[in-house]
Amino acid sequence: MNNIIEVRNLVKQFELTSKLGLQTHCVKAVNGVSFDVPEGETLGLVGESGCGKTTTGKLILRLVKPTSGEIYLEGKDINKISKKEMRRIRKDIQVVFQNPYAALDPKMTVADILSEPLSIHRIVFKYDYDKEVKRLLNLVGLSEKDAKKFPHEFSGGQRQRIGIARAIATRPKFIICDEPVSALDVSVQSQILNLLNDLQKELKVSYLFIAHGLNVIRHMSDKVGVMYLGKIVEIGRVEDIFNNPMHPYTKVLLNSAPIPDPTIIRERQAIKGEVPSPITPPSGCSFHPRCNIAMEICKNKSPELIKINEGHKAACHFCSAE
């Protein structure tokens, strides 16, 4: 299977400057992230706020320039190509944003919103815009009459459908879904998740699915990467991650999600403290201050991602032997 996106050792440092313009600190928002997204598959990225999952998405969109590392779209390094060529390639990488209330221009009708990408990337002829807009609306489960309406006339779920229609308008190969359902109500979330799955089957598009809800990640992903303080601490097929988690952080995450069944009473694994500040990350393994199996080595040495079995890797000193 071909990989649509390959990310290698991606690093992004944000420099914090004081009022006088002197560089004071440096935040490694993304710190050496590598993954592949094969054609027609979904990679889920999960982690707590500040772990760098959204920055990773922005880096792939080239909205943020990486400090180092490579991003290949079908074998082409998107950071080495010219701006002009990038503009051409942009139609292959699209994004669905978290907040559908803020992602649509309130002064544009739905037809305008959906024809804009069509005209910029010259997807269809001008006299076919209407037809194409109708096709897109049908594809995302909205009615053709909605084309003349403005975003405020829609509910959150419907707006997210418009956002998705806009993303697929350019017939992309890869869509970054940045928390596409976390602003929506539960009964509407499942509609949007099903829609994204149906579109993937129909259009053979790959997703990078960024979310913090583990249940949503499990439902959507083929592969899952768990991020903590800018690093992927565990990556593998969805069954591996959920049925056989290796990294202590993954275990804690799975353990903290509440289960909607009152008959299950769980022994909760307590986790110490909170996510440390990315400005002053801990030495060695960045999870060690909160980890319950941390030893001396964890404070001194940062673990590499170690292969556990085919396609399943974890970055922990204590999960290789078994």
CB of residue 82 to another protein, shortest distance in Å: 40
CB of residue 67 to another protein, shortest distance in Å: 26
Cβ proximity to another protein, 73 vs 291, nearer residue: 291
Cβ proximity to another protein, 36 vs 48, nearer residue: 48
Q: Which of 4, 3, 25, 30 lies closest to 15, judged by CA?
A: 25
Count CB neighbours of 146 within 10 A.
20
CB of residue 261 to another protein, shortest distance in Å: 6
- Range 86-111 burial, b when 16+ CB lie within 10 A, else e: eeebbbbbbbbbbbbeebbeeeebbb
Q: How far from chain centre, in Å, is Cα 251?
A: 20
Alpha carbon separation from 134 to 108, 128, 147, 148 (Å, rounded): 16, 10, 7, 11
Cβ proximity to another protein, 13 vs 197, nearer residue: 197
- Judged by DSSP in three states, 28 sits in strand
CB of residue 271 to another protein, shortest distance in Å: 5
Q: Which of 166, 228, 225, 156 lies closest to 192, judged by CA?
A: 156
Count CB neighbours of 72 within 10 A.
17
CB of residue 96 to another protein, shortest distance in Å: 18
Phi-psi group of 132: left, alpha or beta (phi > 0 → left; psi -120 to 50 → alpha; rest → beta)? alpha
The site for another protein (CB under 8 A) is made up of 48-49, 155-158, 185-191, 193-194, 197, 212, 214-216, 218-219, 238, 242, 252-254, 256-264, 268, 271, 274-275
Give the torsion sign (CA, 248, 309, 45, 241).
negative
Cβ proximity to another protein, 118 vs 211, nearer residue: 211
CB of residue 73 to another protein, shortest distance in Å: 29
Cβ proximity to another protein, 274 vs 322, nearer residue: 274
12, 55 Cβ separation under 8 angstroms: yes
Cβ proximity to another protein, 261 vs 296, nearer residue: 261
Cβ proximity to another protein, 115 vs 189, nearer residue: 189
CB of residue 147 to another protein, shortest distance in Å: 18
Alpha carbon separation from 313 to 182, 282, 319 (Å, rounded): 28, 22, 10
